[in-house]
């Protein structure tokens, strides 16, 4: 189904008109400047003008009472006319929250802004969007304000969307560094709302200090399995820990859940420099997290601001989120792609706790590790010492004192220049050369002008003189190199080329890449194809997805054969993509990706489109697809996937065959020392 287009931005500076009026060290980080600096940075990157502006409105009392009691609503309403003394007294009735005469007005605007965003997405006026609001919402409860939150914006939005649009499956992803217990309480018995949250926990030593924030809070009654908590028991968690939690927990379950709408409790205190979170994930990580969520629910993603208290880190991460919602190419993710022992232990525990409820986890180890063996405990202590010397973690993990904050500012300035400016906002378009009529393709696809023959002949004859003779092969080569050239020169982001000799064309393309100076190319071959490649130096990572057992080929670090048996109609290849291909690809950090589609492939059009969509987070979204001319009917759907005009309809979930799951586990066990993003259990941790 075609997807709507456009990104809504919902913001009104009236939500900056309340602040803390007295001394309270726990609340003084929640300041109006959080919205102002985020909005300024969005303007700085020219993102505001690219969004569709939707006005805010007040949430009505009826909408607020979808979650809150009328008594609580009356208490909040009564604060409008209070003096400072009375405001302090009301605030002391709750944990970590303050009131101001304008709080009620702003809290209603935050609810209304969120519902305006849901309406804009559900009506098809836009595809996705972000609401920049305060006060935040995810801690507030039926009868209580909590943790700077007054009305639970995202919980109200979920109840609203169920009632107004008859939705039956809503996914809430809460990447704020605090546990949104308010949301968990509202939906813990509700199987129509899947709540996923990670949060700083430190074995219940971190606020809000709740036993029910741990991984074994899986939901109650009919809601069992629909509440996923990923507790972080150490600070300093970074990009690789967050991505691993997506690959091995959220995404497999989310694809199985098949949500109709994604609501994001989009808190950025989980980002680097934040005094609350003390984590080290850099702004571009939120671009990748957003990108993955956009492959679900036909791209209907509503991001609603929650926390985030380091103004520079918050602003950059907000911009990364909006930039991705606008479908810009993603910046390269930075840092070592290896989740830490503590993160992997949490990931393993939540997977084990949810094993009874999700088919994608049915072959997992049953036993959560309530206490690690002494050996792993020692390993963890040792690792702690090692990471505490890690410059990024040590240097910029936020503290409230100002010189640390200034150091973080400087780190972020230099970091953002590195990842943002070399990558000009390349048009997300695709070059294509094929017999398929241009009108069948998305408008963003340019039909490639042919490379001039003479130029090509010299290029080809440099490689392989006798190939020049065969006209048809030469034309194929021309297609592939012409499209590749545009990608390498950053004229387009990605491209498709049809070839009668896909394997030879790919060999040439790879040589052209290395002549151009690329260091690492991920080459994924779908179907049977013999590529004569030199795989020893690590400049190519070849992954072959094929039907039959590749007996002669043993898997090595740079040559992996994934046997996948998929029959028509069953759609479960994403377990392989999420649980294996993406973790390996993110560990490898390629400069470019080449997907080669050959004859008698074992993957259907959905699986290939999904693979193309999910891989776009890598290599600044630079993908070349080489299609053997026998597979020409794929071109249209692959072009759609590449140009992002629609997320392929993945159809209803069907559990993968057991041998497919076991194949992934076998490969993971075999390669997790080489490609550390594969880690999702602490056994065999050496
Ligand atoms: C929205 C939020 O999750 O960032 N609130 C955090 C409150 C922390 C109180 N110690
Ligand atoms: Zn927070």
8 A C-beta contact, residue 130 and residue 325: yes
What range does the domain containing 129 cover? 7-418
Given a cut of 80, is residue 158 above it in pLDDT?
yes
Residue 175 CA, ligand 2 centroid: distance in Å: 9
Residue 660 placed within a domain: no
The atom of ligand 1 lying closest to the CA of 149 is: 1
pLDDT for 175: 98
- Alpha carbon 33 to its chain centroid, in Å, reads 27
Contacts with 267 (C-beta within 8 Å, 6 or more apart), sequence order: 136, 138, 174, 175, 176, 177, 178, 305, 306, 307, 308
Residues 17 and 124 placed together within one structural domain of the fold:
yes
- By percentage, how much of the chain surpasses pLDDT 90? 61
Given a cut of 90, is residue 593 above it in pLDDT?
yes
Q: Hey, which of 35, 91, 96 would you mutate to test ligand 1's pocket, going by the most ligand atoms within 8 Å of its Cβ? A: 96
Residues in the chain: 686
Residue nearest to atom 9 of ligand 1 (CA): 147
pLDDT for 659: 82
Residue 201 placed within a domain: yes
Given a cut of 80, is residue 488 above it in pLDDT?
yes
Given a cut of 90, is residue 288 above it in pLDDT?
yes
> Does the model's ipTM exceed the 0.95 cut?
yes
The atom of ligand 1 lying closest to the CA of 138 is: 1
Residues 42 and 157 placed together within one structural domain of the fold:
yes
What does the alpha-carbon distance between residue 421 and residue 419 come to, in Å, rounded to a whole number? 6
pLDDT for 168: 98
Given a cut of 60, is residue 335 above it in pLDDT?
yes
Residue 678 placed within a domain: no
Lowest mean pLDDT among 512-516, 565-569, 673-677: 565-569
Who wins on pLDDT, 454 or 56?
56
148 lines ligand 1 (CB under 6 A): yes
pLDDT for 388: 43
Residue 670 placed within a domain: no
pLDDT for 630: 84
Residue 113 placed within a domain: yes
pLDDT for 431: 60
pLDDT digits (tens, 9 = 90+) for 104-135: 999 999 999 999 999 999 999 999 999 999 99
Q: Hey, which of 267, 270, 308 would you mutate to test ligand 1's pocket, going by the most ligand atoms within 8 Å of its Cβ? A: 267
Given a cut of 90, is residue 85 above it in pLDDT?
yes
631 lines ligand 1 (CB under 6 A): no
Residues 220 and 353 placed together within one structural domain of the fold:
yes
pLDDT for 399: 45
* 666 upstream amide cis, omega within 30 of 0: no
Mean pLDDT of 198-219: 98
User: Taking the model in full, what pTM does it have?
Assistant: 0.92
User: If 0-12 CB within 10 Å is exposed, 13-18 middle and 19+ buried, where does residue 66 land?
Assistant: buried
Domain-terminating residue out of 387, 418, 449: 418
The atom of ligand 1 lying closest to the CA of 147 is: 7
Given a cut of 60, is residue 598 above it in pLDDT?
yes
The two structure tokens encoding residue 197 = 């949250």
Q: Hey, which of 276, 304, 314, 317 would you mutate to test ligand 1's pocket, going by the most ligand atoms within 8 Å of its Cβ? A: 276
Name the average pLDDT for the chain. Answer: 87
Residue 19 placed within a domain: yes
What does the alpha-carbon distance between residue 438 and residue 447 come to, in Å, rounded to a whole number? 7
Who wins on pLDDT, 372 or 250?
250
Orientation angle between helical segments 33-44 and 311-325, nearest 10 degrees: 50
Largest CA distance in the chain: 90
The atom of ligand 1 lying closest to the CA of 136 is: 1
309 lines ligand 1 (CB under 6 A): no
Residue 671 placed within a domain: no
Under the banding of pLDDT at 50, 70 and 90, the label for residue 66 is: very high
Active-site residue, selected from the candidate residues 100, 138, 139, 354: 139
Residues 376 and 463 placed together within one structural domain of the fold:
no
Who wins on pLDDT, 636 or 675?
675
pLDDT for 467: 62
Residues 407 and 439 placed together within one structural domain of the fold:
no
H helices within 123-172, ranges in order?
153-165
Given a cut of 70, is residue 440 above it in pLDDT?
no
269 lines ligand 1 (CB under 6 A): yes
136 lines ligand 1 (CB under 6 A): yes
Who wins on pLDDT, 89 or 651?
89
Instruction: For residue 455, give the CATH number of its domain.
Output: 3.40.800.20
Under the banding of pLDDT at 50, 70 and 90, the label for residue 591 is: very high
Q: Hey, which of 140, 148, 311 would you mutate to test ligand 1's pocket, going by the most ligand atoms within 8 Å of its Cβ? A: 148
Given a cut of 50, is residue 641 above it in pLDDT?
yes
pLDDT for 107: 98
307 lines ligand 1 (CB under 6 A): yes
pLDDT for 385: 54
Mean pLDDT of 132-160: 98
pLDDT for 540: 96
The atom of ligand 1 lying closest to the CA of 276 is: 8
pLDDT digits (tens, 9 = 90+) for 501-513: 888 889 989 999 9
The atom of ligand 1 lying closest to the CA of 180 is: 3
Domain-terminating residue out of 418, 451, 469: 418
175 lines ligand 1 (CB under 6 A): no
Backbone phi, psi, residue 255, to 5°: -70, -30
174 lines ligand 1 (CB under 6 A): no
Under the banding of pLDDT at 50, 70 and 90, the label for residue 395 is: very low
Residues 438 and 365 placed together within one structural domain of the fold:
no
24 lines ligand 1 (CB under 6 A): no
H helices within 569-656, ranges in order?
574-576, 582-588, 605-614, 635-643
Lowest mean pLDDT among 177-191, 323-337, 384-398, 561-575: 384-398
Residues 229 and 257 placed together within one structural domain of the fold:
yes
Residue nearest to atom 8 of ligand 1 (CA): 147
What does the alpha-carbon distance between residue 86 and residue 78 come to, in Å, rounded to a whole number? 10
Given a cut of 90, is residue 269 above it in pLDDT?
yes
Residue 59 placed within a domain: yes
pLDDT for 615: 92
pLDDT for 366: 58
Residues 493 and 363 placed together within one structural domain of the fold:
no
Residues 397 and 539 placed together within one structural domain of the fold:
no
Which of these, 485, 506, 494, 486, lies nearest to 442 by C-alpha position? 494
Under the banding of pLDDT at 50, 70 and 90, the label for residue 228 is: very high
What does the alpha-carbon distance between residue 676 and residue 642 come to, in Å, rounded to a whole number? 28
Domain-terminating residue out of 363, 394, 418: 418
Lowest mean pLDDT among 332-341, 371-380, 576-585: 371-380
Q: Active site includes 139?
A: yes
Given a cut of 80, is residue 67 above it in pLDDT?
yes
Residues 410 and 436 placed together within one structural domain of the fold:
no
What does the alpha-carbon distance between residue 541 and residue 545 come to, in Å, rounded to a whole number? 13
Between the ranges 68-82, 450-464, 594-608, where is the mean pLDDT highest?
Answer: 68-82
pLDDT for 387: 47
Given a cut of 70, is residue 100 above it in pLDDT?
yes
Residue 37 CA, ligand 2 centroid: distance in Å: 18
Given a cut of 80, is residue 22 above it in pLDDT?
yes
Strand pairing class (521-526; 128-131): unpaired
Who wins on pLDDT, 164 or 564?
164
Who wins on pLDDT, 479 or 622?
622
98 lines ligand 1 (CB under 6 A): no
Residues 348 and 487 placed together within one structural domain of the fold:
no
8 A C-beta contact, residue 521 and residue 593: yes
Residue 138 CA, ligand 1 centroid: distance in Å: 9
Residue nearest to atom 7 of ligand 1 (CA): 147
Given a cut of 60, is residue 428 above it in pLDDT?
no
8 A C-beta contact, residue 318 and residue 264: no
Mean pLDDT of 380-398: 48
Mean pLDDT of 225-237: 98
Residues 68 and 12 placed together within one structural domain of the fold:
yes
Lowest mean pLDDT among 104-108, 472-476, 612-616: 472-476
Q: How many domains does the chain have?
A: 2
Given a cut of 90, is residue 565 above it in pLDDT?
no
Who wins on pLDDT, 299 or 416?
299
Mean pLDDT of 162-170: 98
Residue nearest to atom 1 of ligand 1 (CA): 307
- Helices and strands, counts by H and E, the chain: 23, 16
8 A C-beta contact, residue 248 and residue 149: no
Given a cut of 70, is residue 306 above it in pLDDT?
yes
pLDDT for 136: 98
What does the alpha-carbon distance between residue 508 and residue 528 come to, in Å, rounded to a whole number? 18
Given a cut of 60, is residue 585 above it in pLDDT?
yes
């Amino acid at each position: 189904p075609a997807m709507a287009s456009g990104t809504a931005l919902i913001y009104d500076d009236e939500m900056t008109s309340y602040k803390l009026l007295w001394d309270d060290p726990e609340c003084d980080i929640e300041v109006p400047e959080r919205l102002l600096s985020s909005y300024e940075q969005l303007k700085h990157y020219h993102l505001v003008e690219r969004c569709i502006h939707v006005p805010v409105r007040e949430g009505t009392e009826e909408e607020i009472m979808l979650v809150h009691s009328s008594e609580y609503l009356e208490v909040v309403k009564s604060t409008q006319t209070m003096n400072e003394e009375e405001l302090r007294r009301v605030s002391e009735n709750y944990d970590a929250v303050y009131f101001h005469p304008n709080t009620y007005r702003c809290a209603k605007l935050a609810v209304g802004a969120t519902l305006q965003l849901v309406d804009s997405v559900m009506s098809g006026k836009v595809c996705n969007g972000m609401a920049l609001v305060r006060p935040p919402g995810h801690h507030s409860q039926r009868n209580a304000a909590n943790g700077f939150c007054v009305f639970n914006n995202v919980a109200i939005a979920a109840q609203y969307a169920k009632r107004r649009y008859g939705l039956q499956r809503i996914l809430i992803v809460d990447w704020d560094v605090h546990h949104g217990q308010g949301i968990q309480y509202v939906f813990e018995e509700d199987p129509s709302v899947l709540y996923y949250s990670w949060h700083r926990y430190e074995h219940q030593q971190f606020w809000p200090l709740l036993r029910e924030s741990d991984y074994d809070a899986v939901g109650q009654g009919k809601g069992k399995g629909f509440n996923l908590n990923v507790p972080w028991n150490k600070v300093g968690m970074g990009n690789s820990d967050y991505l691993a939690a997506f690959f091995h927990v959220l995404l497999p379950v989310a694809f199985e859940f098949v949500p109709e709408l994604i609501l994001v409790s989009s808190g950025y205190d989980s980002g680097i420099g934040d005094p609350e979170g003390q984590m080290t994930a850099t702004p571009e990580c939120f671009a990748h997290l957003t990108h993955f969520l956009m492959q679900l629910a036909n791209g209907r993603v509503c991001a609603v601001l929650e926390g985030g208290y380091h103004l520079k880190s918050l602003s950059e991460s907000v911009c990364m989120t909006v930039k991705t919602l606008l479908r810009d190419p993603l910046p390269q993710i930075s840092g070592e792609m290896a989740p830490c022992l503590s993160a992997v232990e949490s990931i393993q525990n939540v997977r084990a706790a949810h094993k009874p409820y999700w088919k994608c986890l049915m072959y997992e180890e049953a036993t959560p590790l309530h206490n690690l063996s002494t050996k792993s405990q020692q390993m963890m202590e040792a690792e702690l010492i090692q990471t505490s010397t890690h410059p990024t973690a040590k240097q910029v993990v936020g503290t409230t004192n100002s010189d640390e904050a200034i150091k973080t500012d400087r780190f972020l300035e230099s970091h953002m220049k590195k990842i943002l400016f070399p990558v000009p906002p390349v048009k997300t378009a695709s070059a294509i050369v094929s017999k398929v009529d241009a009108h069948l393709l998305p408008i963003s696809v340019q039909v490639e002008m042919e490379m001039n023959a003479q130029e090509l002949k010299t290029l080809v004859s440099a490689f392989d003189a006798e190939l020049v003779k065969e006209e048809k092969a030469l034309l194929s080569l021309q297609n592939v190199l012409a499209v590749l050239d545009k990608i390498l020169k950053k004229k387009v982001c990605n491209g498709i080329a049809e070839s009668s000799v896909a394997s030879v064309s790919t060999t040439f393309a790879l040589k052209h890449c290395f002549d151009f100076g690329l260091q690492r190319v991920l080459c994924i071959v779908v179907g049977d194809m013999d590529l004569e490649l030199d795989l020893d130096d690590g400049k190519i990572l070849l992954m072959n997805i094929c039907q039959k057992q590749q007996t002669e080929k043993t898997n090595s670090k740079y040559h992996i054969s994934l046997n996948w048996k998929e029959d028509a109609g069953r759609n479960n290849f994403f377990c392989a993509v999420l649980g294996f291909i993406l973790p390996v690809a993110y560990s490898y950090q390629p400069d470019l990706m080449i997907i080669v589609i050959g004859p008698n492939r074992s993957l259907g059009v959905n699986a290939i489109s999904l693979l193309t969509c999910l891989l776009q987070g890598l290599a600044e979204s630079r993908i070349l697809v080489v299609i053997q001319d026998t597979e020409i009917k794929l071109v249209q759907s692959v072009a759609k996937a590449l140009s992002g005009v629609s997320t392929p309809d993945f159809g209803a979930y069907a559990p993968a065959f057991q041998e497919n799951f076991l194949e992934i586990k076998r490969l993971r066990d075999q390669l997790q020392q080489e490609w550390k993003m594969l880690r999702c259990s602490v056994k065999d941790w050496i």
